[in-house]
Amino acid sequence: MKGQLLNNEKLAKYTSWRVGGCADRLYIPFDRTDLIEFVSSLPATEPLFWIGLGSNLLIRDGGIRGTVINTKGRLKAMYRTEDGLVYVEAGVPCAHVARFCAEQGLVGAEFLAGIPGTMGGALKMNAGAFGGETWSLVKQVDMLNAHGEVVVRTPQDFVVSYRSVQGADGEWFLSALLQLPEGDTVASQQKIKGLLEKRNQSQPTNQPSCGSVFKNPEGDYAARLIEQTGLKGYCIGGACVSEKHANFIVNTGNATAANIEELISYVKTKVNEQHGVLLLTEVCMVGESDD
């Protein structure tokens, strides 16, 4: 294997919240081929968990049993195919995809500039921002199963909805082919610039967070409900509801994953008590508690 295998590796430095316990094993693949070979060498029963930029993710303080695969800076191939599609591997940051598509004169991917994760994570949860959603662009995906086999799938193989993608259990996203209409490069780049300015003005981009914590209820906004409940600035330990955007929970420096999870639960309870709305989490919470 050309990649790097680390034992009992602390995961806090791999997540945007900067919290989380250790992984039994962490594998950083050299490239797509190396990753396939590594997964092929594992028992099919080995628990696998994938991390990209570690956003939209809360790893509990007890860490993750099994093997964690980190694609950040690794599965990073991206190019225009001969038939005009965009090939993107799972480790490419969404912001890079937005800029590349604009440079190629392709429009419709600008919203990806506002997603602080990788393409793999965006595919897994149908990530969206500023009115756009990932799977509206997808023509085809390559999946990797526990036997190290690559399976080609189309959107019809999945049940895709708001911040949810179901189907292909026991498989993980390797890459995608995106299909976008042609348009004006300059206009697309200006749109990206405007979206990033809006994001920086409205979100706490200078503090460790995971992105949006809760899904927006139909016809409403989670941030509005949380703010109306008077929870902006509310803290448990080092975890606080952001003063800048109520749907963000920030690590003020010494938060634990348990602090964050407790605050998420508190916000859900209080919003439900005052507004009768049960907020659903957008963030993925994994691993074991540190009992």
Active-site positions? 163, 212, 282
Measured CA distances, 74 to 64, 171, 263 (Å): 21, 19, 33
Q: Which two tokens stand for residue 144?
A: 């990797």
Nearest to 44 by CA among 70, 67, 25: 67
Alpha-carbon gap, residue 71 to 45, rounded angstroms: 21
Rg value, the chain, Cα: 19
> Counting Cβ atoms within 10 Å, is residue 123 exposed (0-12), middle (13-18) or buried (19+)?
buried
Q: Which residue has the tokens 């992105």?
A: 211
| Dihedral angle over CA of 265, 271, 272, 276, nearest 10 | -160
